[in-house]
Amino acid sequence: MSARATPAPTQASLVVQTSFLGDVVLTTPLIAALGRRGPVDVVVRPDAAALLRRHPDVRQVIVYDKRGKDRGVRGMLRVARAIRALPGPDGVSEWGPRDRVAYMAQGSPRSAALALLGGCAERVGFDSSRQARPLYTRIVAFDPSRHHAARLWSLAAATEDAGVEVPAPRLAPGADEVTAVDGALGELAAGGFVAVAPGSVWATKRWPEYPALAAALAADLPVVVVGGPGDRELAAAIVAACPPGRALDVTGRLSLLASTELLRRAALLVTNDSAPQHLASAVGTPTLTIFGPTVPEFGFGPLAPGSRTAGVAGLVCRPCDPHGPARCPLGHWRCMREQGADAIVALARAQLREPRPSST
């Protein structure tokens, strides 16, 4: 029996996504859709480059350190030259950059200018990006009612995609990440564990009751605290609140992909509206996301089957910010303070009692 012929690539795609880590995860359905047409190259910030390591639909990652060494016009020109040097759909350099279609997953004028300087003759972006819109050659309607993963996917949607279900976000941890997580967890989580992610770049999105939550849940399953180096103080308070040997702090010890592998093994993730919920979505782990100044209706809720969200209903001041301000504008922070630990514990335990749904 002869092997099935691989379809000839019809397009080389460039995805520009220089926003936050969670946005990069939510861009993977778009990348997967474009991967069916040909090779996909992606422009990301330095902190996000490792997320797309070994992603099956990504040919090359171009790092754009827009706030560091690539700041200003010289840096942009350097990255634009790297884009121009990319091969075309069949990997042959004669397919020049003018044959490449750029998809503006991050809708700033700077990103659009980068694609233009990189020689991408076709540039696709949302109509909501008013300053960047003049630099687009094809404009797509931004639908605020959809999840952001679906909105980004719509940049590539073709006529034949009508009615097609948007694929789930996907990341690809590998053997290195498995080994790292095995070493970090040791024997603690052999029978399952709950992951908690107390951090966020935005201060008002950090729910303050994680120590009480972890102390209660540790009676059921061990608790593993995930996050970056900046979350270690939060993690120390959580571990101190739990019985000895029932909590583990891995903040700052694992790469992003290794953290994704750890979340894949968790029975449940309890998190703020922050990047870990998107990592969990990419591996199908049920998530309980605690929303405060933001709301799931913004399009950034968890996507894994069996996931839930929590938030204080009826506050006229909520939502107050697209991301979450550094301080509560009204000074009371009721959107987080009025979410008691007992209520979140009850929600988490209800999820833990449910059979874990399939993510396929």
pLDDT tens by residue, 146-185: 999 999 999 998 655 556 678 889 999 999 999 999 999 9
Q: Name the 3-class secondary structure at 41.
A: strand
153 and 274: one domain?
A: no
- 274-287: average pLDDT: 97
Mean pLDDT score, 17-44? 95
List own/partner pairs for 62-66 with CB under 8 A and 24 or more apart.
64/18, 64/114, 66/18, 66/110
- The amino acid present at 18, given as its one-letter code, is T
Run of H or E residues at 319: none
Kindly state whether residues 218 and 81 are assigned to the same domain: no
Question: Residues 182, 134: one domain?
Answer: no
Per-residue confidence band for 1, with pLDDT thresholds at 50, 70 and 90: very low
Asked whether residue 359 is domain-assigned, the answer is no
Check residue 166 and give its pLDDT.
80
Cα(184)–Cα(311) distance, integer angstroms = 32
Q: In the listed set 107, 138, 161, which residue is the last one of a domain according to the structure? A: 161
Q: What is the CATH number of the domain that holds 128?
A: 3.40.50.2000
Task: Note whether residue 167 is domain-resident.
Answer: no
CA pair distance 34, 157, nearest whole angstrom: 9
Tell me if 232 is assigned to some domain: yes
Per-residue pLDDT for 8 more than 70? no
The neighbouring-strand residues paired with 63 are 44
Residue numbers of the domain that contains 272: 176-353
- 168, part of any domain: no
Task: Determine, yes or no, domain membership for 171.
Answer: no
Model confidence, pTM: 0.92
CB 228 within 8 A of CB 251: yes
| 204 and 60 inside one domain | no
Structure-token match 């001041």, residue found: 317
166 is a domain residue: no
DSSP per-residue string spanning 236-303:
HHHHHHSPTTSEEE-TTTS-HHHHHHHHHH-SEEEEESSHHHHHHHTTT--EEEE-SSS-GGGTT---
Identity at 244, one-letter amino acid code? P
Task: Say yes or no to pLDDT of 199 above 60.
Answer: yes
Q: Indicate if 76 and 218 belong to the same structural domain.
A: no
Residue 95 has pLDDT above 70, yes or no: no
- What does the pLDDT read at residue 164? 67
Domain total for the chain? 2
211 belongs to a structural domain: yes
State yes or no: pLDDT of 2 exceeds 70.
no
**Within this chain, do residues 148 and 222 fall inside the same structural domain, yes or no?**
no
Average pLDDT in the chain: 91
295: in domain: yes
Decide the pairing of beta strands 287-290 and 268-272.
parallel
Q: Tell me: pLDDT of 7 over 90.
A: no
Select from 182, 267, 272, 287 the least CA-distant residue to 234: 272
Q: Quote the distance between the C-alpha of residue 310 and its chain's center.
A: 19
Query: Both 155 and 196 in a single domain?
Result: no
Tokens of 137: 């050659």
Domain boundary among 138, 161, 184: 161
